[in-house]
Structure 1
Amino acid sequence: MTNILGQMKRGLNDSVPIVIGYIPACITFGLVGTSLGLSGWEVFLLSAVVYAGASQFIGAQLLAAGTAAPILLLLTFIINLRYFFISMSLSQRLERGTRATLKSIVGFGLTEEVYAVSMMSHKNTSKGSHLSVPYLIGLEFPPYAVTLISTYAGIMLANYIPTFILPALNTSLYALLIALIIPQLLGNRRNLGICLSAALSSWLLQPLLGTSSVLVAMLIGACVGFYTPRQKEIGSEAK
């Protein structure tokens, strides 16, 4: 029991930077959703149920435009396919024998930021160890709770905050992502190759494929990572 509480406490501590980045981003979502003409409940439920960053903003725009439900669900599904890849990666690092119910709970709270922090934690732990469910729940719960609170705050503040400052509020999330990714790239040729190939292909394919370029870029990055030897292998070849 003590170990479980200790793991959960470590997850809570590691979630602090994610929480700081989510507050302005989710306030922005509440403001944007309300400015599009959606009701407060519609904006709040998008944040609570979808809980997927960019998909929430796109979903709000499509919903406000009167997009048919099947098309809305299909586009949201396609955009959220990126979570399929990070879920597969995270599942390989979970403790063996983890029940499907617990995996579902962890999967719902999984975001890019949570994934990045959990990978950093896994990297800094002893070799052969796995990510525990209590740690991941501690890591995921505060960001989700703050998402709901901040979205509600954005809805309430919609009539008081000028819309022209919304982009400035949203930059904190990009800064958080950059801060989480850079340590993974320094000194790691494989991770750097994955990041650069995915970013470059997404930029080049954006005019042709639109938002679908993100999925293609992920596949390209995955292929680069598959065919690039790990750091240890590079070092051994040099010897």
Structure 2
Amino acid sequence: MANRGDTMGLVRNGISDSMPIVVGYIPACITFGLVGKSLSLDNLEIFLLSAVVYAGASQFIGAKLIAAGAAAPIVLLLTIVINLRYLFISMSFSDKVDHSSSKRARGVLGFFLTEEVYAVSMMSKTNNKSKKHLFAYLLGLELPPYAITLLSTWVGIMLSDYIPGSILPAFNTSIYVLLIALIIPQLIGSRRNKVIVITAACASFVLQPFLGDATVLAAMIIGAWSGGKVSETKDGVDLT
């Protein structure tokens, strides 16, 4: 078992690796606070959507549904459907988590899991020499993005009287830039990852007019299937 010094070192490594996520979340979450106020939601409603849902697009959709007076079961159902992508993300993430921690601890990690945290955890080698991530490292990786989400949402709420709605789209593009920056390193030297990304992107483009919000889930399934059909290589060496 790791001693206290090792544990704190892992937490610090996680915090350090989370900084790109934190930077990307700030403008996106400020935007969410501004959008919530523009929809005439209460401050507490906006804040709780960030604190409890904590799932990017689902928060914006939830805010719009609540503002439109949608029934709670409808809001809940649509949130679940939109977030089905986390089923696949969490299955892959679980395989990379050291299972020496308790189920409760792993449940905590599951709540704080986002696409950006997942991407960083897949590419990070700073927590230990094994392929499994320890709880302390992942806690350090997950908590700063969550904390900045809450803080930035509140800042957005407070700034709603001073920032015009016309600039909101510019704020919101930061999260897409962050995701692209996290994905690109995963493509270098990996034939399988390239196939997955290209196939999923093409599927998303083709299916969007027909499936709407369900396109993300369909593209993930198609991308995962295509990746399973391709042998992995790294630096020209076949790893399968």
Give the TM-score normalised by structure 1. 0.94
Partners of 2:102 and 2:206 in 1: CA distance: 41
2-side partners of 1:236 and 1:116: how far apart? 23
- Is it true that 1:65 corresponds to 2:68 in the alignment? yes
- Structure 1 or 2: more helix by fraction: 1
DSSP 3-state at the match of 2:173: helix
- RMSD of Structure 2 on Structure 1 (CA): 1.7
Equivalenced residues, count: 236
Q: Cα deviation per residue 1:119-172 (whole Å; 9 max; x = unaligned)?
A: 11149963x431011001001111101000000000011111000001111111
In the other structure, the counterpart of 1:137 is 139
Shift of 1:96: 2.8
Q: Is the 8 A contact 2:232 2:238 kept in 1?
A: no
- CA distance in 2: counterparts of 1:169 and 1:218, whole angstroms: 26
> Within 1, Cα distance between the matches of 2:127 and 2:17?
13
2:142 corresponds to which letter in structure 1? E
Tell me the percent identity.
Answer: 59
2:206 to 204, 207, 213: 204
**Partner letter of residue 52 of structure 1?**
A
Q: Report the Cα distance in structure 2 between the residues aligned to 1:31 and 1:191, rounded to whole angstroms.
A: 36
Aligned partners of 1:228 and 1:43: how far apart in 2? Answer: 44
**What residue in structure 2 maps to residue 188 of structure 1?**
190
Look up the equivalent residue of 2:159 and give its one-letter code: L
Whether 2:18 is the aligned partner of 1:15: answer: yes
| Cα displacement (A) at 1:75 | 0.6
Matches of 1:129 and 1:236 in 2, distance apart? 19
Is 1:96 aligned with 2:81? Answer: no
The 1-side partners of 2:131 and 2:24 are apart by 28
Matching residue of 2:29: 26
Alpha carbons 1:122, 1:130 under 8 Å: kept: no
Name segments (4+ residues, structure 1) moved above 6 Å: none
Amino acid in structure 1 at the alignment position of 2:119: A
Q: Normalising by structure 2, what TM-score?
A: 0.94
Which residue matches 2:158? 156
Matched residues in 1 for 2:84 and 2:53: separation? 13
